[in-house]
Structure 1
Amino acid sequence: MDGLQKFIEKDSHEFPDWINHSRESSLKKYKEVCPKHLKNATWKNTKLNEMLNDFFEKEFSVQQSTLDNIDLKSNLDNSLTIYFHAGVFFTEEEIPSYIKLLNHKYLEENQSIFGLEDRSERQSIPYLLNNIVSRDALMIDTAVNQHVERLIHIVYLPNQNGNVAPRLNINVSGNSSIKIIEEHLQSKNSIINHCIDINCEATSTLEYYKVNHRQNDSYLISNLNLNQEEDTDVKIFNLDLGADSGSSLNHLKLNGENSNVACSTLFMPSDHRSSHQNVVIDHLSDKSSSSVNFRGVINNQATGSFFGKVRVAKERRGTSAFMQNKNLLLSDESKISTVPILEIYNDDTECSHSATSGSLDKEKLFYLKTRGINENDAKDFLIKSFIDELTSQIKSRRLRDYVNEIIAGNYKV
């Protein structure tokens, strides 16, 4: 803890007083909430204690990563590519008016990005630590009636022995639309604590994708908060290939009538990696709908977990909520934990949830072998079928092909 205090004091000369005050407030709040939050079900299966020990031991002000031998070419042609490295965002292209890279230029009007006041979701351990370490933020704010056709590709470049805290703030203004994909490339011996705030104003549309490549001896935490107003439509897809300890926390609030969200995740940890998936959806308005579909493919000695909770507030009418978690265990040593929860406080709602976990279907495997297919090819077919049921729901064919290409190179039968 002393190391973090010294970091704040040493770094203070680079920033205005309000940023330093925000860091001090976050550290004070962290000390207050940490003991209680460590007992929370969200962190039950994770290595949070180990991560916190590493967090306070690392040399925050020295980033050992360099851009040497890193190709800055995007794998998605014709996208607007923004990079994150050593704590800051940058791009080699001209930045459109709806995107801002703060790059240490913390203007007074941006204080709300780091504020803790009246924001209970920012009282969590990841957010508080992100507030302390973050040196930059990326802001995407569409104009009213603006429909951004060009894909936004945010690439988090590899870190080596780094402790980084990227912050992304997205505002989709009224009657506007945008597509965004975030991609975390493989890091080593690092802590990546990523916080995303999304606000969708009335009649807006958002497609949000995220790909987490395998992280080596690293911790990767992703903390997403979404607020939706009336007549909004949001589609979220995550691919997570695991980390030494990987955790994804999604808190989705449906605050407007006729707001709809579909959140899908495929998590595929292997070797000794882990992937822990958490989603909480609050139906706070009438005629809102949510669909949660999480699938795990767990191999070798890897571990995975799913914690999902859907809450429908009292007096909210005409809501619908669907939650499903299916998991495939590819070895006798792989492990999975799943906890789906519905909290319904009125009768005028349509809700369902299901959770299943198991190995490959032996009868289907036997049938394929009787048709002349060898065992490895038969297993590969069944695994791909399990995965394709989820990835086929990706709306963009271009991104669906991209995700499937990454998946194909990251698992072995």
Structure 2
Amino acid sequence: MRRVLAVRGVVQGVGFRPHVARLAGALDLAGTCRNDTAGVRIEVEGPAAAVAAFERRLRSEAPPLARIDAVAAHDVPPCGASGFAISASADGAGERTLVPPDTAVCADCLAELRDPADRRYRHPFITCTNCGPRLSITVDLPYDRPNTTLAGFAMCAACVAEYADPLDRRYHAQPIGCHDCGPRLWYAEPGGPARPPEPASRAVDGERALQMAVATLAGGGIVAVKGIGGYHLACDASNAAAVTRLRERKHRPDRPLAVLVADLVAAGRVVDLPPGAAAVLDSPQRPIVLLPARPDAPVAEQIAPGLGEHGVLLAYAPVHHLLLADLAAATGRPSVLVLTSGNAAGEPLCHRDEDALERLAGIADGILGHDRPIVVP
């Protein structure tokens, strides 16, 4: 028999087509799957029992970031197909599927980020089908690389091989990249040109850009950091003078500031973790969670003056993990960063590099940006 399934929900950008292809292969089913503007369309052909098992497992074994809202299925005449393939996406008008949110770097990618033997060691944009930017890189649907802000980054041969390998965690991962094919960091200081450095003439990019940002933070400076969805302002949360300067420059005299930490162990040094708090902090969405402050928290009193709580979030972008680790190495103590919106009072969050270089020049001592554009819905 041959069966057509139209799947709706959060099924693009979450590794759903690779899941479909692997499942069909495991059940020895033929057919195709493809993205369209409404979701994912699947055709499977084979014994009725195998097709029924495919439909059951399609839901029960879905990728962690996927959400299946509806499956419309009907039978069509079999055509004697062999093999299963992910087909080119179909454009079109009509129903539009849901674009998944950006999510925190996963444990597998984080392990590779920290592994000197891995080819993505210290790559600030490491990602896979289970994590990373989605909404902030999606220009149009269907969700394919040409419809994202990665369209201008040609994949190197190694990334192409991973992208095409059904057994690889980056099989059909649209934001795939590495040190060779980008994206890349850059660093600029106020007073320079009010535009991001050109790729061919960057004096400070890549690893050197990261180290200059760390040096600024370690010296009590303020750095505007371009993350996944926009710019944030960061400083050493233990440095009272740095926090005070940030408040003065941002015209934010009293409101509490959120702090960024690397993991739950680091969070436990700043706040008490009541039951359930760890799971919320460590969720893929990485929310800011308001928790009771520890009396010995290694942060300046100016973070939340007169309050007994701190707003804490765990690092969600690879560049956050690199900044925190390198700042700890530079200062010889565990690092905690203030992380607040990259804007002056009353202005919107900066997400364009040109805006950050112009509007944050009076607040930040340095700007750590990158060459992947950010899409704001």
Taking structure 2 as the reference length, the TM-score comes to 0.24
The one of the two structures with greater contact order (alpha-carbon pairs below 8 A, sep at least 6) is 2
- TM-score, normalised with respect to structure 1: 0.22
